[in-house]
């Protein structure tokens, strides 16, 4: 019995590691975006960031794409639309609010996802998991704001919308039957293609063209943009699509909720930011809460497995 539990625990940790790596690279994306974009060029940067990976990913996934059914194409396209909404809301929200409030509000997806998952399954989430998620949110509040917040603004509300849409995206990826068994590379390509198309349409009326922005970049900016494209986009969304089909959406969201912690780490080590005592305490709380939630999440998964899966929205 002990050997079985040990193997199960090791397998769980290996399954969680790629998701934690996604949180790390997403944490670095805050710094990367500062290096390559400003408010008026943010959407053009999104076109470049997503568009650069499409040829590479398409070449690898081409054979799988040719075998997809109409339902799989439509399901992937629907998820791509949701994905584009996340990035547009985050981008415009970040322009109109502080990093402190944005980091805290987007982390609310850690709580919103298990609540949404439980509502869809018509079950009550384990109290321990909710407590861990709440502790993580409290830690993010201290980490990103060093204990200080201000009244919500329009930007705060936009970021809150992004948190809601992020939860819907994770839940949708896990529950959309049309793409449940679809090749991960193929479904990732469809999502990124649709999202890039949305960004390109928006860029027509917002700021300079992607081509003008690309011509203005120096070698250093191109290096940061490639980091955003290859690691923060291609690697991240491939892993997330795989993880939510292999694990619990709630578990994935909690692990991704460490993103503000890694953002603080990159800010300190590269950008020279400083953290006060409350922020350091917040970082410790995020780590403790994530491990606590990771250990309690399997209870949620087993409980959900005994329930019938509700019908997903036709795709």
Tokens 């009550």, located at residue: 124
Task: Show the tokens assigned to 286.
Answer: 């995020």
In a domain, 314, yes or no: no
CB atoms within 10 A of CB 223: 14
Q: Per-residue pLDDT tens for 153-211? A: 788 888 889 989 988 988 888 777 777 778 888 988 999 999 999 999 999 998 899 99
Q: How far apart are CA 28 and CA 31, in angstroms?
A: 6
Residue 285's domain comprises 22-304
Instruction: Report the pLDDT averaged over residues 289-294.
Output: 78
In a domain, 15, yes or no: no
In a domain, 3, yes or no: no
Count of structural domains within the chain: 1
Q: How far apart are CA 184 and CA 121, in angstroms?
A: 25
In a domain, 171, yes or no: yes
In a domain, 7, yes or no: no
- The per-residue pLDDT of the chain, averaged, comes to 80
Global pTM value? 0.76
In a domain, 92, yes or no: yes
The pLDDT of residue 55 is 92
In a domain, 13, yes or no: no
The pLDDT of residue 5 is 47
Task: Show the tokens assigned to 16.
Answer: 């969680």
In a domain, 117, yes or no: yes
Distance of CA 247 to the CA centre of its chain: 15
Q: What three-state secondary structure class fits 188?
A: helix
């Amino acid at each position: 019995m002990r050997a079985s539990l040990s193997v199960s625990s090791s397998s769980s940790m290996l399954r969680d590691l790629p998701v934690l790596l996604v949180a790390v690279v997403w944490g670095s994306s805050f710094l990367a975006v500062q290096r390559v974009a400003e408010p008026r060029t943010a959407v053009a940067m999104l076109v470049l960031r997503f568009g650069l990976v499409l040829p590479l990913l398409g070449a690898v996934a081409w054979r799988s794409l040719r075998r997809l059914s109409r339902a799989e194409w439509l399901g992937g396209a629907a998820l791509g639309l949701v994905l584009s909404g996340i990035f547009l809301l985050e981008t415009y929200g970040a322009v109109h609010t502080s990093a402190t409030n944005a980091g805290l509000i987007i982390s609310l997806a850690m709580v919103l996802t298990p609540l949404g998952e439980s509502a869809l399954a018509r079950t009550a989430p384990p109290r321990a998991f909710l407590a861990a998620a709440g502790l993580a949110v409290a830690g993010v509040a201290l980490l990103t704001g060093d204990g200080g917040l201000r009244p919500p603004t329009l930007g705060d509300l936009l970021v809150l919308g992004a948190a809601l849409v992020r939860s819907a995206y994770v839940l949708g990826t896990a529950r959309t039957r049309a793409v449940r068994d679809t090749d991960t590379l193929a479904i990732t390509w469809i999502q990124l293609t649709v999202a890039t198309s949305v960004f390109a349409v928006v860029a027509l009326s917002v700021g300079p063209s992607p081509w003008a922005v690309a011509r203005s970049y120096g070698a250093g900016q191109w290096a940061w943009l490639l980091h955003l494209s290859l690691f923060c986009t291609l690697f991240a969304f491939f892993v997330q699509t795989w993880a939510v089909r292999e694990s619990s959406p709630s578990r994935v969201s909690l692990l991704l909720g460490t993103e503000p912690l890694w953002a603080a780490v990159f800010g300190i080590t590269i950008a020279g930011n400083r953290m006060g005592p409350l922020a350091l305490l917040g970082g410790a709380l995020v780590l403790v809460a994530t491990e606590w939630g990771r250990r309690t999440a399997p209870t949620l998964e087993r409980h959900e497995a005994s329930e019938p899966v509700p019908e997903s929205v036709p795709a």
